Chain A
Amino acid sequence: MVRSLLVRGMIAGLVAGLVAFVFARVFGEPALEGGIAYEDMVSAASGETGGPALVSRGVQSSIGLAVGYLIYGVAVGGILALVHATAQGRLGRLGVRGTAVVVALVGFTSAVLVPFLKYPANPPASSLDDTIGERTGLFVVMIVISVAGAVAATALCRRLADRLGWWNAVLSAAGGYVVLVGLAAFLLPAISETPRDFPAAVLYDFRLASLGGHVVLWTALTLVFATLADRATRPSALAGAVPTRAS
């Protein structure tokens, strides 16, 4: 069963990665090119000539972008499936599809949306090269805190549900999660490195496209995975229980 769910999660992730790639290609690349144009302008002004490109822009913005989104989709899909396998049957009376939707909502919020609010995506040439280590470290710390908080909140919610009922249990656990990540976001250092003359529209469009790509990816992933997981669990779970379907 775990293997079957894992495979389905990765297939759903592949589909989702492909759909998100199309979105990123259409809405993300123009903003990304805006960042590159700014970079070229700055280096031209300072008389620098960049070395020969290792990978051409054409490859980066097509095959490279596709491979990036596909691998990301497959990896996220597989992880979603593993978490789903653990959650299935352990979230009250939620069925398979309902479980998949809840797991994906919690996953998207904690692993993508909340970290994005603190450390949003940045277009090329809007960050300092020397701070890549610090920026990567803080980004990972924010994700770890947020995901761990969501896992803890879910566990807390299950314990409270018996006493408070599901509604109050979910509200309490979600409230606790919001306080935790709010505190983390308040305490972790801010990163503000955007050059003063970096085009604001490029930054705005880029971040919107980045978040949009994630929404597209997770939506497609959730819908496809919920459908596939439901089929995977249906025949064995309900063998003999389903009345013969009239054609």
Chain B
Amino acid sequence: MSQAAVESPIAGIAPTPIPLREIAPWAVFAGVVLLALLYLVGMDQGATSVFSGEMLHEFVHDGRHLLGFPCH
């Protein structure tokens, strides 16, 4: 008897697009930070180094191999 809330039908209620100019600043700033994180986990102190030494490389070493980044 309870018409348990009709969820969005199969056709879906297409969401309103978010204006690109609203996305752009986030894409630029957050995008750069997120890609920098990927770089630090996957590549730094390998082929290229932003931070000197081996500490970062050694610490995330196993993740680097298993995530598929080139290592040794």
Listed in ascending order, the chain A residues whose CB lies under 8 Å from chain B are 1-3, 6, 24, 28-29, 32, 35, 53-55, 59-61, 64-65, 67-69, 71-72, 74-76, 78-79, 82, 85-86, 88-90, 92-96, 98-99, 112, 115-116, 119-125, 127, 129, 132-133, 135-137, 139, 206, 209-210, 213-214, 233, 237-238, 242-243, 245-247
Name A's interface SS: helix
A191 to chain B, nearest CB (A): 9
Q: Does B6 contact A (CB under 8 A)?
A: yes
Contact present for B65 and A75 (CB under 8 Å): no
Q: Does B2 contact A (CB under 8 A)?
A: yes
Q: A95-B13, A132-B46, A132-B47 are in contact. Are A71 and B40 (CB under 8 A)?
A: yes
A36 to B64, CA, bound (A): 14
A136 to B8, CA, bound (A): 45
Contact present for A75 and B35 (CB under 8 Å): yes
Residues of B within 8 A of A135 (CB): 47, 70
Pick the contact of A210: B20, B34, B68 (CB < 8 A): B68
A61 to chain B, nearest CB (A): 5
A29 to B63, CA, bound (A): 10
Contact present for A68 and B63 (CB under 8 Å): yes
Residues of B within 8 A of A54 (CB): 54-55, 58
